Structure 1
Amino acid sequence: MGKPTVYIDGQVGTTGLQIRERLARRDDIELLSIADALRHDTTERARLLNTADLVFLCLPDAAAREAVTLIENPETRVIDASTAHRTAPGWVYGFPELDRGLRREAIARATRVANPGCHATGFIACVAPLVEERLLVPDATVPCFSVTGYTGGGRSMIEAYEAPARAAALSAPRLYGLSLAHKHLPEMRAQCGLDVAPLFVPVVADYPRGMATSVLLTRDLLRRRVTAADVRCVLAQYFAGEPLVTVSPEPDGGMLAGNELAGSDALVLHVNGEDDQVLVTALFDNLGKGASGAAVQSMNLMLGLGETCGLAV
Structure 2
Amino acid sequence: MNKIFIDGQVGTTGLQIHSRLKYRTDIEIIEIDNKYRKDASVRKEVINSSDVVILCLPDEAAKESVSLIDSHNVRVLDASSAHRVSEGWTYGLPELSKNQTLNISSAQRVSNPGCYPTGAVLLLNPLISTGLLDGNYPYSVNAVSGYTGGGRDAINRFEDSTRSDYISSTSRRYALHHEHKHIKEMQEYSGLGQKPIFQPAYGSYRQGIVLQIPIHLNAHKTGLTDDILRQTLLSYYADSAFIKVLNKSETLNIEGLDPEIHNNTNNITLAVFSPEGTDHVVLAAIYDNLGKGASGAAVQNLEIMLNLVPSDGKVLALD
TM-score scaled to structure 2, two decimals? 0.93
CA distance in 2, matches of 1:7, 1:221: 48
Residue 51 (str. 1) matches residue 49 (str. 2): yes
CA distance in 2, matches of 1:254, 1:144: 21
Match of 2:96 in 1: 98
How far the C-alpha of 1:192 sits from its partner, in A, is 1.1
Match of 1:123 in 2: 120
Indicate the SS of the match to 1:97. Answer: helix
Match of 1:309 in 2: 311
Q: 1:1-313 alignment to 2 at 5 Å?
A: 3-99=1-97, 101-165=98-162, 169-179=167-177, 181-249=179-247, 250-252=250-252, 253-274=254-275, 275-306=278-309, 308-309=310-311, 311-312=313-314
Indicate the SS of the match to 1:195. Answer: coil
CA distance in 2, matches of 1:93, 1:276: 34
CA distance in 1, matches of 2:203, 2:194: 28
Identity, % of aligned positions = 39
Moved more, 51-60 or 242-251: 242-251
Where does structure 2 lack aligned partners over 5 or more consecutive residues?
none
Letter in 2 for 1:264: T
Moved more, 251-260 or 204-213: 251-260
How far the C-alpha of 1:206 sits from its partner, in A, is 0.3
Moved more, 115-124 or 216-225: 216-225
CA distance in 2, matches of 1:279, 1:115: 26
Please give the root-mean-square deviation of Cα atoms over the aligned residues, in Å. 1.5
Residues 23 and 310, structure 1, Cα contact 8 Å, conserved in 2: no
Where does structure 1 lack aligned partners over 5 or more consecutive residues?
none
TM-score scaled to structure 1, two decimals? 0.95
How far the C-alpha of 1:164 sits from its partner, in A, is 3.8
How far the C-alpha of 1:81 sits from its partner, in A, is 0.7
Moved more, 102-111 or 252-261: 252-261
Indicate the SS of the match to 1:170. Answer: coil
Q: Can you list the C-alpha shifts for 1:230-254, whole angstroms capped at 9, x where unaligned?
A: 2111101011110011201221431
Residues 264 and 285, structure 1, Cα contact 8 Å, conserved in 2: yes
How far the C-alpha of 1:180 sits from its partner, in A, is 6.0
How far the C-alpha of 1:224 sits from its partner, in A, is 2.7
Letter in 2 for 1:184: H
CA distance in 1, matches of 2:154, 2:70: 35
CA distance in 1, matches of 2:220, 2:4: 44
How far the C-alpha of 1:227 sits from its partner, in A, is 2.3
Residues 135 and 223, structure 1, Cα contact 8 Å, conserved in 2: yes
Alignment CA distance shift 1:95-1:189 (3 Å):
same
Residues 5 and 30, structure 2, Cα contact 8 Å, conserved in 1: yes
Aligned residues: 309
